[in-house]
Amino acid sequence: MLPFLNRSEAGRALAQALMHHAGRGDVLVLALPRGGVPVAFEVANALNVPLDLMLVRKLGTPGQPELAMGAIAQNGVRVMNPELVSMLRISEDAIAVAERRERKELERRQRVYRGKRLPPDLHGKRVILIDDGLATGATMRSAIKAVRTQAPAMVVVAVPMAPEDTVAALKREADEVVCLATPEPFVAVGRWYLEFPQTSDAEVKDLLARAWQEEKA
């Protein structure tokens, strides 16, 4: 199964593991942009369910931006890694600076991707959260917390790959976790794709437009 050719192939494989949710009127797939959108597009298409976004941003550690000290999501949600913050003695001021920066990016993505389209109502829905892979799981934990504020019927996390300890941690927070592979040593998500270009804003907008047009058809 690994490495996947690209995100689209990973999405088609992930869809097969989620077919027990197919065709239900209460299911909604939410992609974590940007990389999660091509994966989620394939899943939503295969399951014949709507696609939308869960806007989430990682809070990078000062001096090590790829190391997540936490993450934020829409609706003012913030999830931190207290052990890492304590170990590296990261100040509240540094956290606040990072959060302000990433909130601005969340607002930009809201405007660019969604325009005037309102976020979906998640109350009573089976929500499937999808990304192209997870490392620490900080962004996904933030997404779960944001979804929970709207009283969904069920929260499902679905990813092509993640470390075993991340999957174990998410199982304590989500109602269901679907992960196709838990390779070790994990190193990084991009290691498990043959093609792993950065997903562009234009690609995100195109896939969403296609999905939302099909909803109207």
Q: Residue 181's domain is classified under what CATH number?
A: 3.40.50.2020
Domain boundaries, position 147 = 7-55+119-216
Counting the structural domains of the chain, the total is 1
Residue 181: exposure state from Cβ atoms within 10 A (0-12, 13-18, ≥19) = middle
Residue 216: pLDDT over 70: no
Q: Which residues contact 78 (CB under 8 A, 6 or more apart)?
A: 59, 70, 71, 72, 99, 142
Looking at the domain assignment, is residue 75 inside a domain?
no
pLDDT tens digits, residue range 18-28?
999 999 999 99
Average pLDDT of the chain to the nearest whole number? 94
* Tens of pLDDT, residues 125-143: 999 999 999 998 988 999 9
Whether residue 102 is contained in a domain is answered as no
Phi and psi angles of residue 24, each rounded to the nearest 5 degrees, phi first = -80, 140
98 inside domain: no
Q: Is the overall model pTM greater than 0.85, yes or no? A: yes
89 CB neighbour count, 10 Å cutoff = 7
Question: For 63-102, how does the pLDDT look when each residue is reduced to its tens digit (9 = 90+)?
Answer: 888 888 988 987 788 888 899 999 999 999 999 999 999 9
Over residues 151-195, the pLDDT tens digits come to 999 999 999 999 999 999 999 999 999 999 999 999 999 999 999
Place of tokens 């990261």: 90
Residue 113 domain flag: no
d(CA 184, CA 188): 10
Residue 209 resides in a domain: yes
- Residue 104 within any structural domain of the chain: no
Please give the structure tokens belonging to residue 125: 């829905």
